[in-house]
Amino acid sequence: MSRTLLTVFTFCSTALLAVSSANAHRMDLIAHVHGSEIHGEAHFHGGIAAKDATVTALDPAGEKIGETETDEQGAFTLVAKFCCDHRLVVKTADGHGAQCTIAAGQLPSSLPPRAGAADHHHASHEHDQSESIRADLASLREQLHGYEQKTRLRDVLGGIGYILGIAGIAFYLLGLRRRQADQGATDK
């Protein structure tokens, strides 16, 4: 029976390790537009701020159009110089990173368009905005779905953990009963 227990234990610990190591160093980057400024925050999984990380803004062609650093709270502000898609890439000194994109439609159209980048954003500003909201919603739904799956797995593993814990308590109590019975036998 101990072999079966060992298998269950190994399975549970492997599954737990797989779940936690995937998230251990995950970094999240969120950003929104206010006027012509891009405000954002970078943090590690679990809410720890990623301070002194470099945030680079790239245009759709991949050229650098801005750079800044995060403060103590992991927050940053970047002034947009062009009206084009801004791909924000954050990197910490020890090599962790994350990225997100600010669509051109969210930036004020008064900004000069990026030379070389497509200029179609001006023509359909509103259309782009609703498009970007739709894209954001889709990604949120995806994240929520993934989160639900993950909590379900954790609940299952948690339940098995409870059962093993109860088995441990049962071992203790039954062992106590057995020891008392043994003592009673030797006393007589």
Partner 1 sequence: MHIYEGFLAATPSGQAVLVAGATAAAVGTAIGLKKIDYERVPQIAVLSSAFFVASLIHVPIGPSSEHLVLCGLLGLVLGWAAFPAVFVALLLQAVFFSYGGLTTLGVNTLIMAVPAVVCHYLFRDAVRSRSESTVFVVGFAAGGIAILMGAFLAAGALWAAGAEFRMFSKLVVLGHLPIVVVEGLVTGSVVVLLRKVRPELLEAPLLATSQ
Please list the residues that pair with 96 across neighbouring strands: none
Q: Are 25 and 16 in contact (CB under 8 A)?
A: no
Smallest distance from the beta carbon of 10 to partner 1, in angstroms? 13
Specify the residue, 4 or 186, whose C-beta has the smaller distance to partner 1: 4
Binding mask 76-115 for partner 1 (x = CB under 8 A): ----------------------------------------
Could you give phi then psi for residue 73, rounded to 5 degrees? -90, 5
For 182, the enclosing helix (H) or strand (E) is helix 125-187
> Restricting to residues 125-184, which ones interact with partner 1 according to CB under 8 A?
155-156, 158-160, 162-164, 166-167, 170-171, 174-175, 178
Smallest distance from the beta carbon of 164 to partner 1, in angstroms? 6
Specify the residue, 118 or 170, whose C-beta has the smaller distance to partner 1: 170
Q: Name which of 99, 89, 127, 121 is nearest 108 in CA terms.
A: 121
Neighbouring residues of 123: CB distance < 8 A, sequence distance ≥ 6: none
Q: Are 82 and 65 in contact (CB under 8 A)?
A: yes
Specify the residue, 8 or 137, whose C-beta has the smaller distance to partner 1: 8
Smallest distance from the beta carbon of 24 to partner 1, in angstroms? 25
Measure CA of the first residue to CA of the last residue in the chain; give whole Å: 34
Q: Name which of 97, 57, 100 is nearest 79 in CA terms.
A: 57
- In this structure, what token pair is assigned to residue 184? 């009673």
Smallest distance from the beta carbon of 172 to partner 1, in angstroms? 10
Specify the residue, 5 or 138, whose C-beta has the smaller distance to partner 1: 5
The footprint of partner 1 (CB under 8 A) covers 1-2, 4-5, 8, 155-156, 158-160, 162-164, 166-167, 170-171, 174-175, 178
